[in-house]
Structure 1
């Protein structure tokens, strides 16, 4: 099993994904349980806008998997923005299990656009993330 912390440049409590479920050349699927640690919300809910960070970490994990397969180091990346963020909920209930799927739409050496989805108990969120990864 691949450890999330080995794939992304985050550490400690900032690693929000719990596990990688699946990955391939086009994308990655991850899971997380919504935490009530006060980092992004309170002990009852986390605002749905935090889904952007969940998606961004899944994209980072995808980049990490690709880097590991190419025997390259894990590199820092940046979220440039999101388009078409659509959520059917205002907040995630703490303890809810979420599945995050990110799929590459366009990617070159430094820029990428990913189609992202978050699904869970009564949760359906979609967005496109624009990301940048500086050269080595």
Structure 2
């Protein structure tokens, strides 16, 4: 069981938090879930979510993974960046309203500079999505954003 709310783990606020819950998180992977509901920021008129939102769901799952690791280590949650997505393969063009989606992200690479690669899957009824996310969490991200020049 994860003792923190998503708002405590993600550098997002309000309606920008798209996930409903964390099902599991350990040192190598996370599993999150959400039910597609009407009225969200990215919903179509019929309540569905366009399939491209799957990238954001995967990225938020990776951010929640990083947030859990930080909290367990007694550190603050830091801002991170999605650098790119490779091989986003999705068998649908939208996620229907009412669909229960499960997102899995497994760390495949992480280095001391803050670079990481995650293998991600999003599954639901008749839905199968896979992608590899490249992410970056700079040390002291707040200072990184304030510096006018970066090496």
Bin for the TM-score computed over the shorter chain: over 0.9
Q: Which residue of 2 aligns with 1:12?
A: 14
Give the distance between the partners of 2:27 and 2:58, measured in 1 at CA.
Answer: 17
Contact 1:30 1:101 in 2 (8 A): yes
String of CA shifts for 1:95-118, please: whole Å, max 9, x gaps.
111000000000113100000000
Runs (5+) with no aligned partner, structure 1: none
Give the distance between the partners of 2:124 and 2:40, measured in 1 at CA.
Answer: 21
Q: Which residue of 1 aligns with 2:29?
A: 27
**TM norm structure 2:** 0.87
Runs (5+) with no aligned partner, structure 2: 141-151
Q: Which of 118, 133, 137 is the aligned partner of 1:133?
A: 137
Give the distance between the partners of 2:40 and 2:12, measured in 1 at CA.
Answer: 17
1:37 aligned counterpart, secondary structure: coil
Q: Which residue of 1 aligns with 2:127?
A: 123
Q: Which residue of 2 aligns with 1:78?
A: 81
Q: CA RMSD in A?
A: 1.0
**TM norm structure 1:** 0.96
**Which shows bigger deviation, 40-49 or 17-26?**
40-49
Kindly tell me the number of residue pairs found equivalent between the two proteins: 136
Give the distance between the partners of 2:92 and 2:78, measured in 1 at CA.
Answer: 33
For residues 73-112 of structure 1, what are the structure 2 equivalents within 5 Å? 73-109=76-112, 110-112=114-116
Give the distance between the partners of 1:76 and 1:101, measured in 2 at CA.
Answer: 20
Bigger Cα Rg: 2
2:68 aligned counterpart, secondary structure: helix
